[in-house]
Amino acid sequence: MSLPLEGLSAIVTGAGRGLGRAEALELARLGAAVVVNDYGQAGRDGSGEASAAPAEEVAAEITAAGGRAVAHLGDVSDLETARGLVDLAVAEFGKLDVLVNNAGILRDRMVFSMSEDEWDSVIRVHLKGHFNTTHFAAAHWRGRSKAGETGVYGRIVNTSSEAFLAGSAGQPNYAAAKGGIVGLTTSTALALARYGVTANAICPRARTRMTEDVFAGFAEPAGQDELDPLSPEHVAPLVGYLASPAAAKVNGQLLVVHGGMVAVVERPRVAAKFDTAKEAFGFEELDGLLTPYFEGRPPGETFAASEVLGLKKG
């Protein structure tokens, strides 16, 4: 019996640790040959010396289990590095079939205290990094299609966050980048569908180096054999599914995933609509319509962190 991703090749960025590592291992378990990309810096804020060790360790783990993998050291926010990453996949495995964008950093601060560099660096790594790899992967698939190849296969899985959906007071840069990734995903999905390529985004909840502060104090397994509800291993199977032929009809979607739960997020819907009784709205009419509407709703429609996350502190 063949594996779901047998004969396919994949790139996973930020795959040296955490979510990316779990995703790379899952794609390999399902039969894909994997390029394991990571910049290998020690700090979750992008600080420290770059190191090939994290990517090499994951690639070695895949190889030891009987799979095919190659490590790639590089910062995907650099355009030429992203080009080289796609070129490596094609050189090693003959083609690229799956791109999983996961690489990111955090530089948290309130919006009134955030520096220009703290804003730019997070937008660059998350949003530009997603664009860079998508750009070269898309060009690869389009080129094959234009050359007359039939049955071109392409899958993109991008990593957004519920920080974009629910807000995150101390992460204006991160929330903005993750919102931008959703826009990039839906645009890419529309542009590449004609070539046999799908693009989807996930909002994962997982206990990793990136989220150690967010999930500090939330319940962990009582027993050694019990899987942490926030383990990255809960997220990886969805990535494997979206990368597979089984997900051919899933395109331009946003899915929240954690601890045995997958939720498909609807696109924004109109909550209320008001029409002017005159030729055009004036201040007084808008005040008479909108002020009572918003006064009858919870302030800002905000929720406590535990309600948004659906988790319990232990």
List the catalytic residues. 161, 174, 178
| Close Cβ partners of 258 (under 8 Å, ≥ 6 residues apart) | 204, 205, 206, 229, 230, 234, 235
Residue 305 vs residues 5, 131, 170, 204, 310: alpha-carbon distances, Å: 37, 30, 13, 15, 8
Residue 208 vs residues 105, 204, 232: alpha-carbon distances, Å: 12, 11, 8
Strands 261-265 and 254-258: antiparallel
| Close Cβ partners of 56 (under 8 Å, ≥ 6 residues apart) | 36, 71
- Alpha carbon distance 71, 50 (integer Å): 14
Strand blocks (E) in the chain: 9-12, 33-38, 69-73, 98-100, 154-159, 197-204, 254-258, 261-265
Residue type, 89: A
| Close Cβ partners of 227 (under 8 Å, ≥ 6 residues apart) | 221, 233, 234
- Alpha carbon distance 173, 71 (integer Å): 29
